[in-house]
Chains A and B, each alone.
Chain A
Amino acid sequence: MSDKERIKSLIKEAALYQKQGLFEESKEKYEEILTFIQDHERYSKDKKLIDAVKGKIRIAEDNLDEIDKTTETPALSQEIQDLISRLFSSSKDKDMAAIEGAVALAKFGQYEKALAEFQRLIEEGKMPLVAAKNSLMCHIAISSPDAAIAQFEQWVSWNTFSGPDLKYIRTFLENTLEKQGIKADLPLVDEAPDVEGESEEREVDMIDISSISVELANGPRKGEKIELQVTFQLGNKISTIIPAQQKYLADAFKIGLRLSGMQCFSPLAIFNARGIVSGLKIVTSGPRRGSHALDITIDGV
């Protein structure tokens, strides 16, 4: 291949990468062409050619800059927001599905809509602590920790939550801010004596766990570490499914079994926890028929 043909071939390649949106590859190819030209006396004085190639490199760089600058949280239409909310909420429980939908909106950067949804859930008393926790996370993501603190102060002054709940939310916010290196002066909360019925709700506010790792304490695979996906979580109670074909795993658990070295994986952190097997039963209907539903109550981290 002659030098001229070589340059032509490289230009064709670089142009195609540009057309395909592979701007990094296009830029590299044009740089290769530039080096080739500058290394060959016959072309190294061809200012027009050199300028043209440099121009192409600039175009590729501009495209890359534009991609970098593109906002990652575009404003989406109400229709798309509703679609996201619907597609990414799979729980059969209506309130849990509403939370999942709002969390999905937040994960896709639709914070304002997510906040409105969390606010609605708080007002309607549907999983208010989970909604409050996510609401604070949204405030931090949208603007600043100050917005989250202001929201908390408003809840305190408006008596939106009971004393114990506010105290719990305060601890959550304090810990979240601390992780970001922020020492906030949050208003103190007078914890009124807990009334019956509130304790169950308070349990709800546990970090979202996506999977757990536990060591088998019994059975032929004793000592083996296994990972189980969390299919449902309500506060400190998590549920996992052991497929029917892995019955030996189910046999390694029994109600009341203490799990001391459990590792919990969440989108925010990996942490160690203690728990107890609070339920183990065979699924008798539906798509998971024959599998085992294993419930674990986390009682310490």
Chain B
Amino acid sequence: MAVFNPKDRVIECKIVYYGPGRSGKTTNLEYIFKAGKKYTNSELVSINTKGDRTLFFDFLPLGLGKIRGCDVKVQLYTVPGQAKYNSTRKLVLKNVDGVVFVADSLEIRRKENFLSLKDLQQNLAEKNMNILKIPLVIQYNKRDLGEQGIPIMPIKDMERDLNSKLKAPSFGANALKGKGVGETLKKCLILTLRHLQKELQWSQ
């Protein structure tokens, strides 16, 4: 849940990048960090293990300046994608305000996308949150690999697999090159702030 200080008109919210292992969650944050240095004085904190796999989480705080007189600060997190780190994912999801689900477009990772989305839904439900109601954006990452002749899933098939019920805004992306990264974050921020505005009535 966002922290809102009505006296100082500061709002701090938390967005978590979720998705299967190696789908590009950390790459998203790395690109945001490089591209958005003017929005942060902090470093991107990554706790990785062998092969740059996220072990605990990545953390990047951003200041978005003033929106409707409120100072908006956003904390971006990633979770470890590997199935065995579910307790860490649960911990990182605590008090989440918005979620970016980073799906892997590789055909060979189709099942992992399913399982990770299901895992997200269950972990949210444990915290009394509904995946249909939380601000959520889906990103179909690694779209560029299709051009290299690597089998990837067509977007319409990924939409049918993952988004037919959720009907969340979705974007194709190549996070390594930054394509689609900004659009994904921007949409998630808009949805999250709109949601918080409604919940906290912070524009009044």
- In the bound assembly, the distance between CA atoms of A16 and B148 in angstroms comes to 10
CB–CB B95/A90 < 8 A: yes
Decide: B128 and A72 in contact? CB cutoff 8 A.
Answer: no
| Residue A189 is within 8 A (CB to CB) of chain B in the complex | no
* Residues 14-59 (chain A) with a chain B CB within 8 angstroms: 16-17, 20-23, 25
Report the minimum CB–CB distance from A14 to chain B (whole Å): 10
Chain A interface, DSSP helix/strand/loop, else mixed: mixed
Closest to B129 in A: A229
Say yes or no: A67 contacts B151, CB within 8 Å.
no
Task: With both chains docked as a complex, state the minimum distance between the C-beta of A81 and any C-beta of chain B, in angstroms.
Answer: 11
What separation, in Å, do the CA atoms of A74 and B128 have in the docked complex? Answer: 32
Chain A 96-128 residues near chain B, CB threshold 8 A? 104, 107-108
Contact present for A287 and B128 (CB under 8 Å): no
Provided the pairs A74-B55, A83-B59 are in contact, do residues A21 and B128 lie with their beta carbons within 8 angstroms?
A: no
Q: Is B22 a contact partner of A22 (Cβ separation < 8 A)?
A: yes
Decide yes or no whether B45 CB sits under 8 A from chain A.
yes
Whether B149 lies near A211 (C-beta < 8 A) is no
Min CB distance B34 to A, Å, is 20
Q: Is B56 within 8 A of A108, CB to CB?
A: yes
B32–chain A nearest beta-carbon distance, Å: 18
Size band of the A side of the interface?
35 or more
- Per-residue CB contact flags for chain B residues 77-118 toward chain A (1 = under 8 Å, else 0) read 000000000011001001100000000001011000000000
B59 touches A87 (CB 8 A): yes
The segment from B46-54, B65-73, B155-163, B185-193 found at the interface with A is: B46-54
Q: Is the CB of A287 within 8 A of B22?
A: no
Query: How far apart are A175's CB and chain B's nearest CB, in angstroms?
Result: 21
Q: A73's closest neighbor in chain B, by CB?
A: B55
A257 within 8 A of B: no
A88 to B126, CA, bound (A): 18
Counting CB contacts under 8 A, is B168 at the interface?
no
In the assembled complex, B37 has its CB within 8 A of some CB on chain A: no
B2 and A21 contacting across the interface, CB-CB below 8 Å: no
Question: B4 near A287 (CB under 8 angstroms)?
Answer: yes
Interface range for B: 35 or more
Residues of chain A lying within 8 A (CB to CB) of residue B128: 211, 227-229
Task: Give A53 to B81 CA distance when docked, in angstroms.
Answer: 29
A287–B53 touching, CB < 8 Å: no
* Any A CB within 8 A of the CB of B200: yes
**Residue on B nearest A8 in the bound complex, by CB:** B149
Cβ-defined contact, B51 with A67, below 8 A: yes
Closest to B151 in A: A13
Interface centre among A13, A104, A229 (most CB of B within 10 A): A13
By the criterion CB–CB under 8 Å, are B200 and A22 in contact?
no
CB-defined contacts of A84 to chain B, threshold 8 Å: 56
Closest to A24 in B: B108
Shortest distance in angstroms between A106's beta carbon and chain B's nearest beta carbon? 11
Q: Does B177 contact A (CB under 8 A)?
A: no
B3 / chain A contacts, CB cutoff of 8 Å: 287
B147 an interface residue at 8 Å Cβ cutoff? Answer: no
Within 8 Å of chain A (Cβ to Cβ): is B166?
no
Q: A227 CA to B127 CA in the complex, in Å?
A: 9
10 smallest beta-carbon distances between A and B, as pairs: A229-B128, A287-B200, A70-B49, A21-B51, A70-B50, A287-B4, A21-B22, A25-B108, A66-B50, A16-B150
Q: Which residue numbers of B lie inside 8 Å of A, CB to CB? A: 1-4, 6, 22, 45, 47, 49-53, 55-56, 59, 75, 87-88, 91, 94-95, 106, 108-109, 126-128, 145, 148-151, 199-201
A selection of 16 A-B contacts at a CB cut-off of 8 Å is A20-B106, A22-B108, A22-B109, A25-B108, A66-B50, A67-B53, A74-B47, A83-B59, A88-B94, A90-B94, A104-B91, A108-B56, A108-B88, A210-B126, A211-B128, A287-B4
Q: A21-B52, A23-B51, A287-B1 given. 8 additional CB < 8 A pairs?
A: A12-B150, A13-B151, A17-B108, A20-B22, A22-B106, A211-B127, A229-B127, A286-B6
